[in-house]
């Protein structure tokens, strides 16, 4: 069953042009992506043994996805046996409704949240705000984009498209609104100090914490979170009610499997041998010997189109650990950043997941418009997901279902008709010569090329048709050569 994803209503050319005209975005995004990619290379070089572990993790994760219904059931039974409440949300809206009901039942006044892509996917914050319950993001990057009323531009670094001057502007405005002391300067230390002090009050007053989750260990019903800022530890331990919202595909069978895979997100994503914080949640405080912690723990497992990918050629997509390595490696992503994709999920994995999760309901242009098929994502992906092959397959579906624009369909069909026979090919060359004759030998001709190739012609030189093709030359000279 298809899921629902929010999307940007702007057209692809609008999103593309906005991104390409934003020099700050291109500089910061390129810098972050290259830095992560270099760090990844270094950490793999320094840990040669990890390759064997990675391969084991890939095999085990594929098996866990094949066994997903059984493992989910086991996870739920185990988690409930030690006091958690679990829910399976088929659609995005189901997950939102469950979370709102929990908030309502607990008369929640303020929510604090750690970083979670699945809550972006189901637009949880917007639903809570509409219900009059403020939600405060506590991951620094998420906090920045929440102040800017934007969406994440990178899975791991949501505010990677902003530089520190822009962050300072946002914090200065926030301080003015709150009537509190602003950051002393736009130095990183001052900015992080401001965010820390500002968020501390919210941590202490919130009555509900919301997290995502990196892994669900079926064997014991344990949720594993890996973070780099420590904010998730506060979110999971200070408020009396904890809600964890996690995609069903995050399942691993047991602790042995977790051990093989747990280093991969940090190693592949940010080039560190392990994330700074690994938090394992096993039971609410009311059901454990812990003196403090949430009294209630609710786990909402989100399907939203994921289950429908099992037993299809795209099943390996469910092995994604959201490390972001494919984004960092992608030359297109480095130029335009995440917002240009128009989906919560950007980069190569976003190109593949967005149409798959929604059955092409939104953004059908992604596979064709944002990939050069350079295969850099395939090389970068620690989970060996066949991203380029999937992108080609999705392009095929887009054509079959006539999801391209009418002009694009007509142009590509006509082109294919010409170039699928020698006679048609020769005619197209003759036609190109006629057009060249009309326009002269202009090499730079913005506006000269019409239709779907117009953008191509704006920045490139138009190739000149050779005065004589090889076939024509052979026709004239081939017989002479035979005689020699
Ligand atoms: S597709 Fe691979 S590289 Fe991209 S985020 Fe997922 S696991 Fe990481």
> Do 117 and 257 share a domain, yes or no?
yes
In a domain, 173, yes or no: no
Report pLDDT for 442: 64
For residue 415, give the 3-state DSSP assignment.
helix
Which CATH number characterizes residue 72's domain? Answer: 3.40.50.10420
Q: Give pLDDT < 50 ranges for the chain.
A: none
Residue minimizing CA distance to atom 4 of ligand 1: 326
The reply to whether 96 and 225 lie within a common domain is: yes
Domain closes at, from 240, 274, 308: 308
Closest residue (by CA) to atom 2 of ligand 1?
A: 381
The confidence score (pLDDT) of residue 316 equals 98
Contacts of 61 (CB under 8 A, 6+ apart): 252, 257, 261, 319, 321, 383
* 290 shares a domain with 146: yes
The residues lining ligand 1, judged by C-beta closer than 6 Å to any ligand atom, are 268, 320-326, 349, 380-383, 385
User: Domain span at residue 41?
Assistant: 12-162+207-308
Is 200 contained in some domain?
Answer: no
- What is the number of structural domains in the chain? 2
Measured by CA distance, the residue closest to atom 7 of ligand 1 is 320
Q: Angle CA(378)–CA(264)–CA(124) in degrees, nearest 5?
A: 90
Q: What's the confidence (pLDDT) of residue 481?
A: 77
Predicted confidence at residue 310, as pLDDT, reads 97
Q: Is 247 helix (H, G, I), strand (E, B) or coil?
A: strand
- In this predicted structure, what is the pLDDT of residue 434? 84
Q: Would residue 221 count as lying in a domain?
A: yes
Query: Does 402 reside within a domain?
Result: no
Closest CA to 301 of 466, 62, 99: 99
Q: What is the Å distance from ligand 1's center to 351 Cα? A: 12
* Separation between Cα atoms, residue 346 and residue 40, nearest integer Å: 20
The C-alpha atoms of residue 414 and residue 419 are separated, in whole angstroms, by 9
- CA of residue 387 to ligand 1 center, whole Å: 9
Instruction: Please identify, among 263, 283, 308, the residue that sits at the C-terminal boundary of a domain.
Output: 308
- Provide the pLDDT for residue 441: 64
pLDDT at 446 (0 to 100)? 62
- 336 domain residue, yes or no: no
80-116: pLDDT as tens digits: 999 999 999 999 999 999 999 999 999 999 999 999 9
Distance 347 CA to ligand 1 centre (A): 9
| Domain final residue pick, 292, 308, 324 | 308
Q: Is residue 68 part of a domain?
A: yes
* Long-range interactions of 454-459: CB distance < 8 A, separation 24+: 455/13
> Is pTM beyond 0.85 here?
yes
Q: Residue 373 domain-assigned?
A: no
Distance 422 CA to ligand 1 centre (A): 42
Atom number of ligand 1 nearest to Cα 324: 5
Q: Give the position of tokens 């989970």.
A: 383
Examine residue 443 and state whether it is found in any structural domain, yes or no.
yes
Reported as type and span, the H/E element at residue 113 is: strand 111-113
The pLDDT, as a whole number, for residue 225 is 96
pLDDT of residue 201: 87
Q: Whose CA is nearest to atom 6 of ligand 1?
A: 320
DSSP 8-state code for residue 343: B
Distance from the alpha carbon of residue 439 to the mean position of ligand 1, in angstroms? 47
Sequential DSSP letters for 216-242: EETTTTEEEEEESSSHHHHHHHSSSEE
């Amino acid at each position: 069953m298809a899921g629902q994803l929010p999307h940007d209503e702007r057209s692809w050319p609008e999103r593309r042009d906005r991104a390409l005209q934003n020099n700050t975005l291109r500089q910061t995004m390129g810098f972050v992506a290259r830095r992560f990619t270099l760090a990844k290379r270094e950490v793999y070089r320094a840990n040669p043994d990890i390759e064997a572990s990675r391969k084991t993790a890939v095999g085990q994760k594929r098996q866990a996805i094949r066994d997903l219904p059984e493992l989910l059931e086991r996870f739920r039974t185990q988690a409930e046996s030690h006091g958690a409440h679990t829910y399976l949300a088929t659609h995005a809206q189901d997950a939102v409704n469950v979370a709102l009901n929990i908030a309502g039942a607990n008369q929640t006044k303020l929510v604090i949240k750690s970083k979670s892509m699945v809550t972006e996917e189901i637009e949880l914050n917007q639903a809570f705000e509409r219900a009059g319950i403020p939600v405060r993001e506590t991951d620094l990057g998420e906090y920045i984009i929440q102040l800017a009323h934007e969406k994440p531009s990178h899975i791991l670094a949501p505010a990677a498209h902003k530089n520190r001057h822009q962050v300072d502007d946002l914090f200065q405005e926030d301080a003015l609104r709150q009537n509190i002391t602003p950051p002393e300067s736009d130095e990183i230390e001052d900015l992080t100090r401001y965010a820390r002090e500002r968020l501390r009050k919210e941590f202490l007053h919130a009555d509900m914490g919301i997290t995502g989750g990196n892994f669900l260990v079926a064997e014991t019903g344990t949720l594993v979170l890996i973070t780099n800022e420590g904010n998730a530890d506060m979110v999971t331990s200070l408020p009396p009610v904890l809600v964890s919202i996690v995609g069903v595909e995050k399942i691993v069978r047991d602790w042995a499997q977790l051990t093989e895979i747990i280093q991969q997100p940090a190693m592949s994503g940010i080039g560190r041998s392990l994330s700074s914080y690994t938090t394992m949640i096993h039971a609410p405080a009311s059901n454990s010997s812990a003196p403090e912690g949430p009294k209630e723990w609710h786990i909402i497992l989100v399907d939203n189109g994921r289950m429908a990918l099992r037993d299809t050629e795209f099943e390996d997509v469910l092995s994604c650990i959201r490390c972001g390595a494919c984004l960092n490696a992608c030359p297109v992503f480095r130029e335009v950043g995440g917002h240009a994709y128009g989906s919560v999920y950007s980069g190569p994995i976003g190109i593949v997941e967005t149409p798959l999760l929604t059955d092409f309901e939104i953004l059908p242009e992604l596979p064709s418009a944002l990939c050069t098929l350079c295969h850099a994502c395939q090389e970068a992906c620690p989970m060996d997901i066949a991203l380029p092959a999937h992108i080609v397959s999705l392009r095929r579906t887009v054509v079959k279902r006539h999801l391209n624009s009418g002009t694009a369909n007509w142009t590509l069909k006509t082109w294919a008709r010409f170039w699928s026979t020698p006679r048609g090919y020769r005619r197209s060359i003759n036609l190109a010569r006629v057009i060249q004759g009309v326009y002269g030998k202009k090499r730079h001709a913005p506006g000269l090329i019409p239709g779907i190739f117009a953008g191509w012609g704006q920045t490139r030189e138009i190739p000149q048709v050779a005065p004589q093709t090889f076939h024509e030359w052979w026709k004239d000279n081939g017989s002479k050569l035979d005689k020699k």
